[in-house]
Amino acid sequence: WCCHHPDAEHPELARCWCRKPGVGLVIAASLSMSHHFGEYYPPYMGLMVGDRPEDQECAARAGLDFQWAAQWRAQAEPEPAPPPDPPDS
Ligand SMILES: [Zn+2]
């Protein structure tokens, strides 16, 4: 979540390095995960799933692998259940 906006009154809030396609949120997430899990997870170890061109550009800038959301969702769909066994007769 980016708290900056170019029209913000406070100069610190007008400067933004995190809004996509900037990589700030990726770096912040990497640091947050490192803090939470006690290990360093460099951004390039991640996969970014997105649905906008700026998402793809952000991934490229951060060195992340990228996958389109529709494709990722299709992969996450469970496989259809096999047909039930025929009843014993
Ligand atoms: Zn920002």
What would the pLDDT profile of 35-60 be if each residue is shown by its tens digit? Answer: 999 998 887 888 999 999 999 999 99
30 falls within a domain: yes
Residue 80 Cα to ligand 1 midpoint, Å, equals: 42
Is 87 within the bounds of a domain?
no
Task: Please report which confidence band the pLDDT of residue 89 belongs to, taking 50, 70 and 90 as the band edges.
Answer: low
Tokens representing residue 58 in the block:
């952000």
Give the chain's count of helices (H) and strands (E): 4, 2
Q: Which amino acid is at 70?
A: A
Does residue 82 lie in a domain region?
A: no
Domain residue limits at 46: 11-76
Across residues 27-41, what is the average pLDDT? 89
pLDDT of the residue at 40: 86
Q: Is residue 4 part of a domain?
A: no
Please report where in the chains the tokens 């360093």 appear, as a residue: 40
Residues with Cβ within 8 Å of 45's Cβ and at least 6 positions away in sequence, in order, are none
Is residue 18 in some structural domain?
Answer: yes
- Ligand 1 centroid from CA 59, angstroms: 16
Q: Is residue 29 part of a domain?
A: yes
Q: Which two tokens stand for residue 61?
A: 């800038």
**Structural domain contains residue 1:** no
Cα(5) to centroid(ligand 1), Å: 7
Does residue 3 form part of some domain? Answer: no
